[in-house]
């Protein structure tokens, strides 16, 4: 079974480039540099959530473009969110604690020691590019956390079909 690649790879020329990836449009109310996505269209976060349970099973991933790089990063981050919120019993507790992690600006970016995908992304060429990457990925992280909490916690409680993936590590990477 092959991995699922991003449909945004073909659209890379339409978006601003940054660190070997692109600033893709998002359906979000979170402030950041991402342009707004067209109504009714799937964005990179929707696509990553849709493919997460299949892609997380793979130990290797052959990136075919900037959409795949963003998808890889988000897949690792979604796994981190699932591992973090599995200790909470209610949606409110989980949301409060995961938003603290997702809105933090202290995550690693390409070129820094400890970045989760060092061979995939290129280091920023200037401080402006580093700031753009950090702002966009902070926006991605916060929006991903907001959407994922809605999936992980239903009216009946924790969604066991998603929490079973807490032990899985995409490409054997656990931290973003």
**Predicted confidence pLDDT, tens digits, the chain (176 residues):** 678 999 999 988 899 999 999 999 999 999 999 999 988 899 999 999 999 999 998 888 889 999 999 999 999 999 999 999 998 888 888 988 888 777 777 889 999 999 999 889 999 999 999 999 999 999 999 999 999 999 999 888 888 899 888 888 888 787 76
Total Cβ atoms within 10 A of residue 130: 18
What are the angstrom distances between the C-alpha of 134 and each of 23, 73, 101, 150, 158?
A: 11, 13, 14, 25, 31
Please tell me the pTM assigned to this model: 0.92
pLDDT at residue number 19: 95
pLDDT at residue number 90: 87
pLDDT at residue number 1: 64
Of the candidates 46, 54, 53, 47, the residue with the CA atom closest to the CA atom of residue 7:
47
Distance CA 116, CA 47 (A): 20
Distance CA 44, CA 116 (A): 19
What's the token pair of residue 91? Answer: 């949606």
pLDDT at residue number 176: 60
Report all structural domains of the chain as residue ranges with CATH numbers, in order of start: 7-172 (1.10.1760.10)
Number of H helices, E strands in the chain: 5, 4
């Amino acid at each position: 079974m092959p991995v699922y690649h991003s449909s945004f790879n073909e659209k890379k020329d339409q978006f601003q480039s940054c660190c070997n990836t692109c600033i893709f449009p998002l359906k979000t109310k979170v402030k950041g540099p991402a342009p707004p996505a067209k109504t009714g269209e799937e964005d990179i976060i929707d696509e990553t959530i849709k493919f997460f349970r299949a892609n997380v099973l793979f130990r290797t991933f052959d990136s075919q473009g900037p959409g795949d790089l963003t998808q890889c990063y988000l897949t690792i981050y979604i796994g981190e969110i699932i591992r973090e919120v599995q200790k909470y019993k209610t949606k409110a507790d989980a949301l409060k604690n995961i938003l603290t992690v997702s809105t933090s600006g202290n995550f690693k970016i390409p070129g820094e020691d400890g970045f989760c995908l060092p061979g995939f992304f290129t280091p920023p060429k200037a401080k402006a590019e580093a700031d753009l990457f950090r702002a966009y990925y902070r926006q991605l992280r916060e929006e991903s956390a907001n959407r994922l909490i809605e999936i992980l916690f239903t009216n009946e409680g924790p969604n066991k079909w998603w929490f079973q993936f807490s032990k899985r590590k995409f490409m054997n990477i656990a931290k973003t």
